[in-house]
Amino acid sequence: MPHTCPFCGGTCLRTLSPASSDHTYRLCAACGAGHIDPMPADPTGWYTRDYFVDGGARAGYLDYDADARWHRRTATLRLRRLEERLDLEATTPRRLVDVGTATGHLLDVATDMGWSATGIETSRWAADRARARGHLVHDDLTAVPDEPLGAVTFFQSLEHLPDPAAALRRAADLLAPGGVVLCETWDLGSRTARLAGNRWQQLSPPSVLWLFTRPAMDHLARQAGLQLVSWHRSPKLVSLATVLGQSIPATNRGTAARAARTVGQRVPIPYPLDDLVTTALVKPRTP
């Protein structure tokens, strides 16, 4: 029986099936987006300490906070792009919500740059670490007060949310006119994804629930009352340790983590592929 795309209502005809998984990604013939099947019973229960330390999950982290300097340098690049390329007017509120803030490194940088920054994080372990550094962190966008925001950011988090369409609608409701949503996601339509097929690294069930394309993001934006104004490769720095760790099977990651921390944590690598993109969505100033 054909499956229907949750985003655009198109028919899902193709599948991608990563090895060693009971999950499949069903791909829409219309917008190109993918969604996991079956949907995990507890999509947010995956993000325990093990996800952030010692790479306990596929595509988890060897030691998330050990890369703090690179997270903060990447956050600086992201926020400069927000401020410089999107031409935020002086009247736009300098209030920002970061969805999927993890342990709060982007909140650190945003605060230093003069933003009033709040985080959203479903991982209790990560949220507690961000709160310990003085940040306000909620577990859901619905908990954010209805005060106009200048920006809402989803940096590699939208694909992990049970309902990304609802999250974008809520973000749009919170934005002041002219405010911006920045979404950094993996691009299923990229050359890297097409060439890799079932071996694409970002096919990572059960944590990655959705796979996006530009047409899919445009459709979601319009549903939320937003306008897609740019789609471009993302600037990101990762440590050599992280690259090495995610290239090694999860069963061997304890050993890899110990070696990588002593060798690769100090070596930054610009993310080299074309499958990581940032989408800018703007709330129109006039209806």
The pLDDT tens digits of the residues spanning 142-179 come to: 999 999 999 999 999 999 999 999 999 999 999 999 99
Strands 210-211 and 34-37: antiparallel
Say whether 125 sits in a helix, a strand or coil: helix
Residue 40 within any structural domain of the chain? no
Domain assignment of residue 252, given as a range = 45-282
Whether 10 is covered by a domain: the verdict is no
**What is the predicted pLDDT for the residue at 63?**
81
- Say if 117 falls within a structural domain: yes
Q: According to the model, what pLDDT value does residue 20 have?
A: 72
* Phi and psi, residue 172, nearest 5°: -65, -40
Supply the DSSP symbol for 53. Answer: B
What string of DSSP letters covers 113-144? TT-EEEEE-S-HHHHHHHHHTT--EESSGGGS
Count of domains observed in the chain: 1
What share of the chain has pLDDT > 70, as a percent? 83
Is 4 domain-assigned?
no
Mean pLDDT computed over 55-59: 54
Answer yes or no: is 173 within a domain. Answer: yes
**Joined tokens for residue 43:** 């999509």
Task: Return the pLDDT at 244.
Answer: 59
Residue at 18 is within a domain: no
Which residues lie closer than 8 Å to 227 by C-beta, 6 or more apart? 221, 281, 282, 283, 284
Q: What is the CATH number of the domain that holds 239?
A: 3.40.50.150
Taking the C-alpha atoms of residue 245 and residue 261, their distance in angstroms, rounded to an integer, is 10
Residue 43 is predicted with a pLDDT of 86
Residue 1 has pLDDT above 80, yes or no: no
Does the residue 245 lie in any domain? Answer: yes
In a domain, 15, yes or no: no
CA dist., res. 25 & res. 44, Å (int) = 18
